[in-house]
Structure 1
Amino acid sequence: MAHLEEAGRAAYLAVLAPGADLDHRGTRLSQRLLGELLSALYDDPSDEVRIGTARFEGATFTSRAWFESVTFTGDANFHEATFTGTAEFRSATFASDAWFQKVTFADDAQFNAVTVASDARFSGAQFETAPQLGPLRCGGAVWLDGAVFGAPVTVEIAARTLSLERARWQSTAALRLRYAEVHLAGAVLKYPVSLAAESVPFLQGHLSEEVLGDRDPRVRVMALGGVDAAHLALTDVDLSKCRFAGVVHLDQLRLEGRTTFASPPTGWHRHGPVPQLWSRRRTLAEEHHWRAIAGPAPGQQPPTGGWEPGPYHPDRARTTGPETVVAVYRQLRKSLEDGKNEPDAADFYYGECEMRRHDATRPWGERSLLTVYWALSGYGLRASRALAWLAAAMIVTIAVMVLWGLPFSNPKPQITGRQVVAGQQITLTADTPHPAKPTGPWTRRVTTERSEKALRVVINSVVFRSSGQNLTTIGTYTEMASRLAEPVLLGLAVLAVRSRVKR
């Protein structure tokens, strides 16, 4: 259809019918002219305005552009259009794609209760003064890559995907979302921006979400690389697949509400000949990606072992390694600690130590020490593990004491001297002989009395005290070792409990 021209306007409007196509690329449309154009598309003012394919690429709307309650049955293309006045799209329906790429909204942009069946593309759009975008529901993706928001704005979107890569906020913003997988890589935040998941539909009863089907309404943040997190707050979002590598000021990110992270695989898994049961904790997607390829030789297709493979699986060179993940864990831990959330920060400390232990660039001695620390108490965070080792050490100590450490009887003092002539001074020496090592069959050594003595020795060792019992040489060294090791294990258990209840 030819461009609209003033000379042929009357004839053009006369042949328009509901559902007709519009082609006004590069034209200037005033409010009066646009009103006449839309009024020709229905017979009765109460009827719904229906437009087929609409092409307004490069068009300029010189005043208020009214598309309220309009249904676009085909593609609606406003690429590089300019709205100098209010852009009114309230309750509009787009049966196909909606194209608003590089559009300039100089005034308000009203997209309240808008429905887009497919994709809504606002890449490179400029919202100079618009205070709100949405509520908008989209059956596909909403593209706001490179969009610029010049004033404080509230964005309300329910969509399958929301791409905000390289978007720029020049003032504060509140993103209230549902369903979406959010991509924020490279976004520029100059002022505080909050991203929160809405638990209930927008405008209940007026904005049905049927276009999204039975999709999970949770909001999943997928990527934050390049974002300055000092101005970002996340509330009630799913971060189980979010990649944090490359985030600036990650230690200043605010995590509020029910923010979820990935978990290790459940059940038993075999790592070589040794079966493993992974400890329950919060983990990052980067750790999942690395563990999914760790183990086999380069070039082989490794089994994931229940870990989630990354986008570059199984390419080791492009997958984030432990040396990078350890820094991400450290910064997230600091973020929670600064927010006085010590218990949840403990999981990130565990992940930090895990990555340090597996980082092949670190000295062998440091990695060995971390391995011992992990095995004894889960880096001071697993009280059950430390208590299990303490119980095992006490049992071993009691067994050694009963079998070899306690003499059969306490030695009695002996007085020795030399017989001299009557009337001369006699010299006597009192001495206690060394406890004799118990002999005989083991069944004679395991008695209630000896077990009770051994238990007293062990309990005193746990609290770093001497039992005062007469012990054989083996028993003496065993007590010394237990007085060193068992209080340490008890301290690790107390430290683990403290880390979970610390305010």
Structure 2
Amino acid sequence: MPRGSAGDVGFWSATFERPTGFDSATFKGDTRFALATFKAVARFESTTFERPAVFTSATFNDGAVFDWATFEHVALFESATFQDDAGFQWSTFKEIALFESTAFQGPAVFTSATFQDGAGFKSATFQRDAWFGSSTFQNDAVFEAAAFERNAWLESATFERALRLGPLVCAEQVRLSGAVFGGPVILSIAARHLECRRTRWSSTAEVHLRYATVDFAHAVFEYPLTIAAEPDPFVLADGQQVAEGPLSGAPAAVRMASLRGVDAAHLVLADVDLSGCLFTGTVHLDQVRLEGTCSFATVPSGTRWRAGHPVRFTERRTLGEEHHWRARLPAAVPGWNATASGVGPVGPAQLAPVYRALRKAFEDGKNEPGAADFYYGEMEMRRHDRTGTSRAERGLLHSYWMLSGYGLRASRAVGWLAAAMLATIVLLMGFGLPNSDPKQEATGTVPAGGGKVTFEIGKDDAHNPTGNRFTGERFEKALNVTLNSVVFRSADQDLTTAGTYIEMTSRLTEPVLLGLAVLAVRNRVKR
């Protein structure tokens, strides 16, 4: 083939039966391969197109190699069909490159390509993996209604001025790890997985997702970034819904897999499932904003068995990492989810600050009841932390947990209060109430010649009855003393010496238990 062409080159509707080679050629005029058919390999490696290159509706039955090609004018591949490999590695598109409605039936490789003007892949179909790693998009990158039936690899790609990416559909994974977004951008993606590890966002961004499990570990963003789950299919500008192909019918929930290493000061999460998210190592987690319904993992439901005795958990929201930690314990209760592969072990010392930060985030959002679960989790981690919590402090926390669930379990505090009152009543009936109320006696001496008389008034010592002590009358008196003790009042009931100490103990402990019950109710209803 000639290495250079000064005029226009037209291969309109041409058919190339044998391998075609235009390697290192230079087309100085318009180059038209519209409706052409390449039945064998078509090679345009290191080719330069100085004027428009038109491959509209062309068909490449075998491989198409455009590696190192330079398109100095528009490159039109609209409605083209690549039945085998399509290679555009290290290619340069100096003006707009259009691949609208193009069908890539084999791997599409745009690794390290440069798009200096717009890149249009609207309604393009990628049946195999699409590789855009290390590519540079200096202007708009249009993937509206693009469909990836396998994976979309955009690792280390640079989007300098992209305003919108998508909506696009990917049946497997979209990888944006190491990518750089230089300006404001809106991403709309329906995919099974989205990986944005070490992705850098240099301006505001919105990420609207469906179906995806998202990994944002070590992503960097200096401006507000919103990750939101979309309940309904994406809609194009003309009002038509984006076809979701193999994803249709699956739950559209968006699950966050990791936020480790992220500075969450500017992060907004909306309607995202955080049940399996890894939070340890997240910076400024107390400033994250949770909008809509952001769900967390929960404790095992129902009654479980551990070491031969039943264990019942009160419902609360937990971190997925607490599940991982508890599942590793020697006497783990069934129902805690085991650690996912590749996740490093964390313990109470690492989880307590995470719970504390999320509690503050809920409190700053004026959601006190929502913050209560994370306060409970923080206290649980402190109680189990054998490195940062002293033994005395752990003992105090254990007592606090047993009595009232850290001031959050009203039923537990009320149960202990009822038990303490019952014990007080029984002890008073058995040892505290005298047989009968002691009578006052007055004694004195009358002088023989008359004059002032002095009397001494005293009471007999109270004694327990020798007969039946558990009678209805004694129960009523014991109940009266106990109820008054709960509210720091004296029942003015004569008691034995043992009864006096029983009442003193009751007046010390039972009001505390009542206060814990009131505190637990308040923490659940406070706004």
Q: Which moved more, 1:406-415 or 1:167-176?
A: 406-415
> What is the rounded CA distance, in whole Å, between the counterparts of 2:51 and 2:297 in structure 1?
52
CA separation in 2, counterparts of 1:19 and 1:117?
Answer: 25
Residue 397 of structure 1: aligned partner: 424
Distance 2:284 2:166 in 1: 30
Indicate the residue corresponding to 2:441 in structure 1.
414
TM-score by length of 1: 0.91
User: What residue is the counterpart of 1:308 in the other structure?
Assistant: 337
For the residue of structure 2 that corresponds to 1:38, the secondary structure is coil
Q: Equivalent residue for 2:37?
A: 17
The separation in 2 between residues aligned to 1:499 and 1:417, in whole angstroms, is 62
CA deviation profile, 1:93-136 (whole Å, cap 9, x unmatched): 11111111111111111110110000001101111111000001
C-alpha change, 1:14 and 1:273, in structure 2 (3 Å) is: closer
Of residues 425-434 and 367-376 in structure 1, the stretch that sits farther from structure 2 once superposed is 425-434
Aligned: 1:162 with 2:188: no
Structure 1: segments with no counterpart, 5+ residues:
297-302
1:465-498: CA deviations, max 9, x gaps?
A: 1111111122111111111111101110111111
Which of 40, 56, 61 aligns to 1:38? It is 56
CA distance in 1, matches of 2:49, 2:205: 31
Specify which of 208, 230, 248 is matched with residue 176 of structure 1: 208
Higher helix proportion, which one?
Answer: 1
Given the alignment of the two structures, is residue 253 of structure 1 paired with residue 288 of structure 2, yes or no?
A: yes
Counterpart AA for 2:280: A
- 8 Å Cα contact 1:25-1:55 kept in structure 2: no
CA distance in 2, matches of 1:329, 1:170: 29
Q: Distance in 1 between matches of 2:42 and 2:282?
A: 45
More strand per residue: 1 or 2? Answer: 2
Name the CA distance, whole Å, in 2 between partners of 1:31 and 1:261.
57
**CA spacing shift, 1:72–1:105, aligned 2, 3 Å:** same
Give the superposition deviation at 1:272: 2.3
Give runs of aligned pairs for residues 258-407 of structure 1, distance below 5 A: 258-295=293-330, 305-311=334-340, 318-361=344-387, 362-407=389-434
User: 1:31, CA displacement in angstroms?
Assistant: 6.9
Contact residue 286 and residue 357 of structure 2 kept, 8 A: yes
Aligned to 1:488: 512
Q: Is the 8 A contact 1:343 1:499 kept in 2?
A: yes
How far residue 274 of structure 1 moved from its aligned partner, in angstroms, is 3.4
| Alpha-carbon contact 2:305-2:333 (below 8 Å) kept | no
* 1:220-235 correspondence runs (5 A): 220-235=255-270
Quote the Cα distance in structure 1 between the aligned partners of 2:190 and 2:35: 38
| Greater shift in the superposed pair: 210-219 or 138-147 | 210-219
Show the counterpart of 1:466. Answer: 490
Which ranges of structure 2 fall in alignment gaps of 5 or more residues? 1-18, 61-75
Superposed CA RMSD: 2.5
Question: What residue in structure 2 maps to residue 106 of structure 1?
Answer: 138
TM-score by length of 2: 0.87
Report if the CA contact (8 A) 1:31-1:61 is conserved: no
Give 1:432 shift: 1.3
Which residue in 2 is equivalent to 1:190?
Answer: 222
Per-residue Cα deviation, 1:265-296 (whole angstroms, up to 9, x for no partner): 11222332432111211100111111111136
Change (3 A) 1:403 1:258: same
Q: Does 1:51 align with 2:82?
A: yes
What displacement does 1:305 show?
2.3
Is contact 2:155–2:179 with CA below 8 Å preserved after alignment?
yes
- Contact 2:35–2:56 (8 Å) recurs in 1: no
User: Letter of the aligned partner of 1:131 in structure 2?
Assistant: L
- Whether the 8 Å contact between 2:176 and 2:195 is mirrored in structure 1 is yes
Shift in Å at residue 404 of structure 1? 2.1
Identical columns (%): 50
Letter in 2 for 1:337: E
**CA–CA distance in 2 between the matches of 1:322 and 1:185?**
21
Partner of 2:279: 244
